[in-house]
Amino acid sequence: MLVAFTVVDANTRMGEFLLQDIGAVSGAVHPALYGDLRGVAVAIQHKDILPASAPFDAESVQSLVHIAQTRVAMVEKVALRHVFAVVAGGVGDLFVPSEWGQFRTPALFVNQVMHALLQLAQVAFGRLAWLPSCALLWHALRIPSRKPCADDEQSYAMAKRGVMEVSLIFPEAETIRKYYRGLVYLAARTCYSEKTPQQIWDEFVADKTPPERVMKLMEHVIESGHHSTIEHISFTFAIAGVSRALSHQLVRHRIGVAFDQQSQRYVKYKEPQYVTPPSIEANPDALQEFERFRDVSEEIYHRFLAQGIPAEDARFIFPNAVATNLIMTVNLRQLMHMAGLRLCTLAQWEIRQLFKLIRKEVMAADPYFGRLLVPKCVPLGYCDEKRNEDGHCRIRPHKNSVFRVWELYKRGALVERETP
């Protein structure tokens, strides 16, 4: 077996590098470990703080140090900011000393092993001056499944948590920037011109239509609510690591959107992932109960499969927290509607986070279209949610306040004044 560790200086732009690197090796990595690698990389990219403290006894740390001293070969000619240490050996020798018991995967104690591995690197490399500012990530690893020990509940729980991922997979950003504005212009211009759609499109493709003219007409139809014109462009997103609770909300949107979702009927889960609500995460007692129920349901699920129960029936034991994957294709009109509802501060936290990531993907492809994905109160100019009558969300005033001001103005109780 070959295990590669990569130590990258925290001051470099390592997030994108790590994400690309992990994607390249995903096919050779245990699925549960791949999810954790993605989670660590996303945490690094978003500058989240990963726990560094580890409840390791001295003997366990010395086991790692011994391996470092005897098996680590350092490439002396590389820059200090990118040091690659390659350790050859069996997983049993490196990751599962007798003191730690049997783990399902090394990824299950990623946060705890961070500290010990940094100590390992310090002994192996002698680069004490810059190691404290480094982040460490497993590069590639192939391992069998192992059952976690009782002392590793926290790390085991971390590995079972799904990581939400959203990718705009079609069309490419270049296609969006080159053609999508033209499609909206084509649809709108067809309504107002004697020219045929073919003639209008040919002029656009041949760059005979001024870009400012395209933008002016497109902005006019969108701001006027003539949204049939934007139904001609669509986006396809790959969505992973979201809960079934979220997907049940998402598929309630029906017009102008298509979904295909991971089937619990046909997929027999070996390592199901779960989404933990922040409110439960923040409550140690609640978190313990949540993880206990999660593990019991998974154990029963596997026992059902072993007894010959079909997966389509065994899945009935899963909680709403179990993670799922989807493909969603949606036209721009419906996407604006969905974002208007789901980016609202009153929306459920997980689906709101999903649409923040969707907006981020669209913004990266074309900022103009990304800026159309906003809470519904923004284009309306006021909030119409009854739960916000007290005005606790201040993105826009509640409609009751707006109408009260309007009534006062109509009665002459308010006087307009010019401001300097």
List pLDDT tens digits, range 287-298. Answer: 999 999 999 999
Question: Per the structure block, which two tokens stand in for 10?
Answer: 């925290």
% of the chain exceeding 90 in pLDDT: 57
Question: Per the structure block, which two tokens stand in for 149?
Answer: 């020990």
Query: Are 177 and 267 members of one domain?
Result: yes
Which residue carries 């993880």 as its tokens?
Answer: 291
Phi, psi values for residue 5, rounded to 5°:
-105, 140
Domain membership flag for residue 330: yes
Closest to 302 (Cα-Cα) out of 289, 314, 290, 288: 314
- For residue 106, cis peptide bond before it (omega within 30 degrees of 0): no
pLDDT band (50, 70, 90) for residue 111: very low
Tell me how far apart the alpha carbons of residues 83 and 72 are, in angstroms, rounded to a whole number: 12
C-alpha neighbours within 13 Å on the C-beta side of residue 88 = 2
Domain membership flag for residue 13: yes
Domain membership flag for residue 417: no
DSSP string, 61-96: HHHHHHHHHHHEEE-TTS-TTEEEEEEES-HHHHH-
Per-residue pLDDT for 398 more than 70?
yes
Residue 1, number of CB atoms within 10 A of its CB: 13
Give me the mean pLDDT over the 327-348 stretch. Answer: 98
List pLDDT tens digits, range 236-262. Answer: 999 999 999 999 999 999 999 999 999
Catalytic residue flag (residue 394): no
Instruction: Give the three-class secondary structure for 297.
Output: helix
Query: Are 68 and 187 members of one domain?
Result: no
User: The sheet that has 323-331: what strands, in order across it?
Assistant: 165-170, 234-243, 323-331, 257-261
Query: Are 79 and 228 members of one domain?
Result: no
Per-residue pLDDT for 55 more than 90?
no
Question: Per the structure block, which two tokens stand in for 339?
Answer: 């974002």
Q: Which segment of 58-72, 81-95, 377-391 scores lowest on mean pLDDT?
A: 81-95
Query: Are 59 and 177 members of one domain?
Result: no
- Residue 383 is classified by DSSP as B
Domain membership flag for residue 415: no
- Residue 274 is classified by DSSP as B
Query: Are 179 and 285 members of one domain?
Result: yes
Residue in 189, 342, 359, 396 annotated catalytic: 342
| Domain stop point among 132, 155, 178 | 155
List pLDDT tens digits, range 172-184. Answer: 999 999 999 999 9
Range of the domain at 168: 160-375
| Domain stop point among 155, 185, 209 | 155
% of the chain exceeding 70 in pLDDT: 62
Query: Are 146 and 172 members of one domain?
Result: no
Give me the mean pLDDT over the 16-21 stretch. Answer: 40
Q: Can you give the pLDDT at residue 413?
A: 87
Tell me how far apart the alpha carbons of residues 312 and 264 are, in angstroms, rounded to a whole number: 6
Instruction: Give the three-class secondary structure for 23.
Output: helix
Give me the mean pLDDT over the 64-76 stretch. Answer: 39
Q: Can you give the pLDDT at residue 75?
A: 28
Tell me how far apart the alpha carbons of residues 68 and 120 are, in angstroms, rounded to a whole number: 6
Which residue carries 């732009």 as its tokens?
Answer: 13
Phi, psi values for residue 34, rounded to 5°:
-60, -40
DSSP string, 171-206: S-HHHIIIIIHHHHHHHHHHHH-SS-HHHHHHHHHT
Dihedral, CA atoms, 291, 294, 298, 303, nearest 10 degrees? 90
pLDDT band (50, 70, 90) for residue 154: low
Of 123 and 195, more confident: 195
Domain membership flag for residue 168: yes
C-alpha neighbours within 13 Å on the C-beta side of residue 264 = 19
Q: Can you give the pLDDT at residue 414?
A: 84
- For residue 31, cis peptide bond before it (omega within 30 degrees of 0): no
Give me the mean pLDDT over the 109-138 stretch. Answer: 38
Tell me how far apart the alpha carbons of residues 172 and 156 are, in angstroms, rounded to a whole number: 38
Q: Can you give the pLDDT at residue 153?
A: 52
For 278, counting Cβ atoms within 10 Å of its Cβ (0-12 exposed, 13-18 middle, 19+ buried), the class is exposed
**Residues 364, 367, 370, 375, CA torsion sign:** positive
pLDDT band (50, 70, 90) for residue 331: very high
CATH number at residue 286: 3.30.1360.170
Q: How many domains does the chain have?
A: 3
- The amino acid at residue 347 is A
Tell me how far apart the alpha carbons of residues 260 and 111 are, in angstroms, rounded to a whole number: 34
- Could you tell me how far CA 229 lies from the centroid of its own chain? 30
